[in-house]
């Protein structure tokens, strides 16, 4: 991957949600490629606390950071005293904001808005105080049932998570007008890859199908899965987009996908080929008809222009690269 700067020596980087899937991947990217940078990871880490849907409130897991040598802070972005401490004790050059209530099925509207929107405003103020560039996680959930290809400006969120991310984007535009820092929102589509395992049931279907096949179970797909299409994007391309967003041509909200829609059937077929299995697919009725996106595809024309972003991984290449980790997790975590 082409690096934006040859050196980040003397620079300090804050990654919120840094024990999660994307945050921890960013932390290791900097550790491996920019060892002279100071990386500070902030995460609430998981406790036994659950949302009303039964899923964990926090997916942060220490195992995602095994081998990380930077600084780690356990804390909640809703804690104003903590944010004040960050403002006085550090001088950040870049803030990667990945922390969120990221469960799209969460019903707690109050917690979702407080965590995803209100705390983000506090972090924007921190970024301005430090003159730090802000790169934050938005989401394709902002589009809801909007027609494909999904394009920035055509949003129609169908749940409070998508609404909260769109609210973040609106807030960002307001701050872009009144501050000198660059602010980039990255609308992630369906991300998969190493370090997602501890998202439990919200981990990608790439991982879930992989483990079904390794367990010798017939993969279970919704009926007409060859017609249910998503823009699936590998974690390496997500990291690439984040790095390019450190010094964009201009602030803005950008899609991060492949620009290609692939089916759930494709995932199973590629996995079977890579794993050497030939298990029969079982097709079950889709209970989500009417509340389910049947086609997502990112329009990445503005991302190419504003970030210089170009996806590097086709699904076949990405799953092949991911399979050794899927096998390791099955052996060490699942069994």
User: Residue 239: in which H helix or E strand, if any?
Assistant: helix 235-244
Marked catalytic residue, from 199, 234, 254, 309: 199
CA angle 131, 236, 69 (to 5 degrees): 60
Marked catalytic residue, from 94, 136, 143, 161: 161
Helix axis angle, 21-33 relative to 235-244, nearest 10°? 60
- Please name which of 292, 323, 298 lies closest in space to residue 311, comparing C-alpha atoms: 298
Q: What is the DSSP string of 32-85?
A: HH-TTSEEEEEE----S-B-TTSSBS----GGGGTT--SEEEE--TT-HHHHHH
Provide Rg for the chain, Cα atoms: 19
- In contact, 189 and 142? CB cutoff 8 Å: no
Q: Is 161 a catalytic residue?
A: yes
Phi-psi region of 126 (alpha: psi -120 to 50; beta: other; left: phi over 0): alpha
Q: Is 309 a catalytic residue?
A: no
In sequence order, which residues have a C-beta less than 8 Å from that of residue 81 and are 6 or more positions away? none
Which amino acids are annotated catalytic?
A: 161, 199
């Amino acid at each position: 991957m082409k690096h934006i700067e040859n050196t980040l020596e003397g620079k300090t980087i804050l990654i919120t949600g840094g024990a999660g899937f994307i945050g921890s991947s960013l932390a290791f990217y900097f550790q491996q490629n920019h060892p002279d940078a100071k990386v500070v990871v902030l995460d609430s880490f998981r406790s036994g606390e659950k949302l009303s849907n039964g899923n964990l409130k926090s997916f942060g897991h220490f195992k995602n950071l095994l081998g990380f040598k930077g600084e780690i802070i356990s804390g909640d972005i809703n804690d104003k005293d903590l944010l004040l401490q960050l403002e006085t004790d550090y001088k950040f050059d870049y803030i990667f904001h990945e922390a969120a209530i990221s469960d799209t099925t969460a019903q707690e509207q109050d917690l979702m808005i407080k965590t995803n929107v209100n705390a983000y405003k506090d972090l924007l103020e921190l970024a301005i105080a430090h003159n730090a560039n802000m790169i934050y996680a938005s989401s394709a959930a902002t589009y809801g049932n909007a027609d494909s290809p999904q394009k920035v400006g055509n949003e129609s969120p169908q749940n409070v998570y998508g609404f909260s991310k769109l609210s973040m984007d609106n807030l960002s535009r307001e701050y872009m007008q009144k501050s000198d820092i660059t602010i980039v929102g990255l609308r992630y589509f369906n991300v998969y890859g190493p370090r997602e395992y501890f998202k439990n049931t919200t981990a990608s279907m790439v991982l879930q199908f992989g483990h079904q096949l390794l367990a010798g179970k017939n993969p279970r797909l919704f009926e007409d899965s060859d017609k249910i299409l998503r823009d699936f994007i590998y974690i390496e391309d997500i990291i690439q987009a984040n790095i390019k967003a450190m010094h964009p041509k201009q602030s803005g909200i950008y899609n991060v996908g492949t620009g290609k829609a692939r089916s759930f059937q494709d995932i199973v077929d590629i996995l079977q080929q890579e794993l050497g299995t030939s298990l029969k697919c079982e097709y079950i009725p889709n209970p989500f008809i009417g509340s389910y996106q049947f086609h997502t595809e990112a329009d990445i024309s503005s991302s190419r222009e504003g970030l210089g972003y170009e996806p590097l991984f086709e699904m076949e290449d990405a799953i092949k690269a991911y399979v050794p980790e899927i096998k390791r997790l099955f052996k060490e975590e699942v069994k």
